[in-house]
Amino acid sequence: MKLLAVETSTEACSVALFIDGEVQERFELAPKTHTKLILPMIDALMASAELKPQQLDALAFSRGPGSFTGVRIATGVIQGIAFGADLPVVPVSTLAALAQDFFMRSAITVAYTAMDARISEIFWGVYQYNSEGFAELVGEEAVTPPADVNIPAVSGAGIGSGWSVYHGILMAKLQAQVLQVDADCLPHAAAIARLGVYGFGLGQAVAAEHAMPVYLRDKVAKTEAERHAAKSA
């Protein structure tokens, strides 16, 4: 199978190609320059593999949660390629990608993923390493104050930027269950690609027009003033 994946939901920007079990990735830590980087990165990766979009079997993208602008960039780019080449798309959770990347370099099999969502909240999801080697969601993803996270009674690792910003609050809540913390990890397109192939096999691919972002926060597009007004109302 041949699948192209993109990830732009944080300050990192990456693209990856899954080709019959092998993954090639280009990754850059490049805040606020995703729109300039993403298409040249895709073109260079596809050229190195001597592939045209029409030769791919599917696409995958990081559908969020994450930066509003970043998630929209990935959505727009992948929809454009999908429409042009008539390809199915697999939306992949950014939190799942964080967990997948962690599981591939650790023996720990549960990940408490937390990304900073601003305004004193985090994007939260608990993932376990399943029997097929992929990150599987336990319960539901949520946007929540860090003190209100829902946790299963299992030990795992704390990963993601939320563990840096709200380390004290999260540790007070989960300290007995946290085996280690990796607050600096960022989502990678390589993990999106692997999860995309897995999701494709599970029938999770959709048509381009249905490849939509997931923000978790209903009013993510509001201005800061509107958000504060809503909170004080």
Place of tokens 């693209």: 15
Look over the chain and give the mean of its residue pLDDT values, rounded to a whole number: 92
Number of domains present in the structure of the chain: 2
pLDDT of residue 220 exceeding 90, the answer is no
Note the pLDDT tens digit of each residue in 194-204: 999 999 999 99
pLDDT of residue 219: 46
CA distance 107 to 111: 11
Note the pLDDT tens digit of each residue in 50-86: 999 999 999 999 999 999 999 999 999 999 999 999 9
pLDDT of residue 218: 63
Kindly report the pTM of this predicted structure: 0.91
Residue numbers of the domain that contains 150: 95-182
- Indicate if 17 and 88 belong to the same structural domain: yes
Strands in 93-177 per DSSP E: 110-116, 122-129, 135-144, 156-159
- Indicate if 102 and 140 belong to the same structural domain: yes
Nearest to 5 by CA among 200, 222, 231, 201: 200
Lowest mean per-residue pLDDT among 98-102, 174-178, 181-185, 187-191: 174-178
Note the pLDDT tens digit of each residue in 207-216: 999 999 999 8
Residues sharing a CB contact under 8 Å with residue 105, sequence separation 6 or more, in sequence order: none
- Indicate if 8 and 89 belong to the same structural domain: yes
Place of tokens 């969601």: 137
Calculate mean pLDDT across residues 115-142: 96
Lowest mean per-residue pLDDT among 64-68, 164-168, 215-219: 215-219
> CATH number for the domain including 74?
3.30.420.40
- Indicate if 194 and 207 belong to the same structural domain: yes
Lowest mean per-residue pLDDT among 6-15, 43-52, 77-86, 171-180: 171-180
Note the pLDDT tens digit of each residue in 130-146: 999 999 999 999 999 99
Confidence of residue 117 (pLDDT cuts 50, 70, 90): very high
Confidence of residue 32 (pLDDT cuts 50, 70, 90): confident
* 228 within domain boundaries: no
Query: Residue 99, Cα to own-chain centre: how many angstroms?
Result: 9
* 232 within domain boundaries: no
